[in-house]
Amino acid sequence: MIKLPMVIVVAALGLAACQPGQKSASGAQGGDPYAGLDGAIKTWHAEIKNTDAQCKDRPDDQKCQGFAVACKGERKITPDEAAAGMTAKVAVAMGWENWDTQRSEYRSSSNTAEFQKVGGEWKRLATGPVNLSTCVAS
């Protein structure tokens, strides 16, 4: 059963992803520096479901659910990073619900990551919290 406050949190996360002025980090092809980012985020999502202690090995009615990207925000590439071959850097926040066995209800969870594209390949690094309306470090 989903509690009303979680519905509000998910709705707010969805709205934060649509804020005006936020730079796009979509995975469109054709010379797009962000090509492949959506695939890297999907891989991250799958890893959370398969490795997070609150998500893995759960009965069907207690599996993590409601995964949503809350924001994507371009980060500035330094001259040293560009010289090392980095062509894109994006902060991403993702939220979801996991089953709380002590309370017998779903609870919200989230995580953030920085995706860096070097040599045409995306790699993911842990990063601190971000402001969900701008996806800038808070």
Residues 36-50 have a mean pLDDT of 96
Binned at pLDDT 50, 70 and 90, residue 30 comes out as low
Query: Three-class SS of residue 15?
Result: helix
Q: What pLDDT sits at residue 22? A: 39
Q: What are phi and psi of 137, to 5 degrees?
A: -50, 135
Q: What pLDDT sits at residue 25? A: 45
As a whole number of angstroms, the distance between CA 135 and CA 62 comes to 30
Residues 81-109 have a mean pLDDT of 94
As a whole number of angstroms, the distance between CA 44 and CA 54 comes to 15
Neighbours of 68 (CB within 10 A): 18
